[in-house]
Each structure stands twice: as structure tokens, then as C-alpha cells.
Amino acid sequence: MATTGYYSHRDCWLHEMGSMHPECPARLDAIEDRLLICGVMDALRRFDAPKASVFDLELAHSRIHVAALRGLDLLLRDEMLAGGDGYTQIDQDTSINQHTWNATLRAAGAVLAATDAVMTGELDNAFCAVRPPGHHAEHDRPMAFCFINNVALGAKYAMSRHQVKRVAVIDFDVHHGNGTEDILAGDERALMVSFFQHPFFPHSGDKPKGSNMLNVPLPAHTGGMEVREIAETLWRPRLEEFAPELIFISAGFDAHRADDMGQMTLNEADYAWLTHFIKDIADRHAKGRIVSSLEGGYIPDALARCVEAHIRVLAGL
């Protein structure tokens, strides 16, 4: 049984983008309820996520990007005092409320704290149940529910603060992690492997930005057996050759068959298999060190079942 950390914070519930928005606080409610009911939470070490510092955010993002987010937060608070509706729109699908900045700092801080704990041996691995998600946030712009790229920031932090020489990022969200690629492309200390539905939002990834990117675009309706074959035949050789010292997971569960955000057909057993696959690579090369952070997954019940399956494997339950 592994020592697995579970990082979250109540600030992550307070960020929301409207009553009908799919990226909603109920996602975290469903995860915590499921883990408590099935007893998995009892096997985890729970931590309140600290706030990341602005200085740390700038490891992955431009100073202008970080300042703009902070400025939007202050502007929104002023507008609310003047009777505004409590939201500022970022793009067609993304907005902030008065709690978004703090939630963003907590989400990023969870990944950084988990990285510290895993690298110092306090934990074997960790899961960060946080929102907003991050893998669409690019070096100098937020997009698609994402403001700060939690996993890319974790990778940069590990290389900078812990002198990790080889960091792997594995992204199994149904959408291409364009932001993570934007931040890490060309950095030979990092290797990113992913699959995603294509053609599909954000309409990228079919032409990798760097030789350290292994992107596998997949058509709609791709199922778990095809994904498993891709992991073994395409991902494994690159990961074995790279021999990562630390692995980050962009853990999006919206490729599940029940999730109408995409049109892939994975199930809970497929996510458990993927986690076993990643854990095997980590055990062989990275002393088991894994930091996993929540990305997509928008049907709360299906999301909760998938996270349970994922954490059971991480924790060796």
C-alpha cells in the first residue's frame, strides 16, 4: 500500500461560472462523497492546499498573464461594489467570479505542495482534487475553463526547485492539453505524452510543437482497448527511453462513455488500467513518484467513479 496524499481546499468550491456551467463545484462534491462512502478517503493523507505565490506562477506563465488575472480579480471586486452581476467574461466559455483568484492559487498550490511532499519522500504519490483545471492555460493566456496551468507549473517547479532532470507529463483528458504543450514544448527536460479526440476542441495537437511532445489524436468513439494499445505501443517506448524521475498526470475523465463533453467511450476499468500503466513506469524509473491533478470530467457521478478507480490504484487499495 502506497502513502497517497489528497490535496484540496474549500476555496476551490467557491469559484463558479454560472448555475448551468459544466465546470462546477458539484464536481468536487461528487468526488468527496464517493471517496467517503466507499472508504477510500480513510486510506489517504488529506491536506489543505496552500496558495501558490505569484513568484511561483511565473515559472510557467508570463508576468503580464499573472498580473492580468490579478487585475481582473480586483476589477471584478470594484464592479461588484458598484452593483455588478459578479462575473467577468474571459472567453465564450470562461468567466471569473470574486473567488476565482483564490481558487486558482489553491489549485496551483496543491500541485506544488504535492510535488514537495513526493520529492522529499513524505508521500509516494498524490491526487489533487482541485478546480479550476489548468491544461488549456497557455504561457500568456487563459482559456477554456483554465487560468493557471497547474501541471505544467508543477513540472517547471520540480525542475527549478528540486533540480529534477527528467519530468514526464501524461495527459488523458478528451481534449488536447494545448496549454501544457505551449509551456513545455522544446524543453528537453520534459516529455509530454497524450491522447485526445481529434478533430475536436481546441483543434490543436495534430502537429506537435516540439520533439518532446508525443501527441496521439484519436477519432470520436475510440474505446478503451484502442487506448490501451496506444499506451503500450506508442507511449511506453518513449517513456522507457526517457526514464522520468517524476511523473505528472493531467487527469481528465471526460473521455468516459457517459460524458457528453466528448465522444470517446472509456470506462472506469480503462482509467484503472491507465493508472496501473503509469504507476509501472513510475515504479521502474521515478521511485514511484506521481502527482496527479484533476482536469476534465463533467458528469459528476461518472467523474466520481473514475476518480475512485484512479486513486485506488495510486494508493494500492
Angle at 151 between CA 91 and CA 267, to 5 degrees: 85
- pLDDT score at 85: 61
**CB contact at 8 A, 222 and 262:** no
Predicted TM-score (pTM) of the model is: 0.96
Residue 82 has pLDDT above 80, yes or no: no
SS3 label, residue 311? helix
Residue 84 has pLDDT above 70, yes or no: no
Domain ranges (residues) in the chain: 4-15+22-315
If you average pLDDT over every residue of the chain, what do you get? 96
Angle at 84 between CA 80 and CA 85, to 5 degrees: 105
The residue to which cell 458598484 is assigned: 82
**Residues contacting 229, CB < 8 A, separation 6+:** none
pLDDT tens-place string over residues 163-210: 999 999 999 999 999 999 999 999 999 999 999 999 999 999 999 999
d(CA 213, CA 187): 10
Domain 4-15+22-315 has CATH 3.30.390.50: no
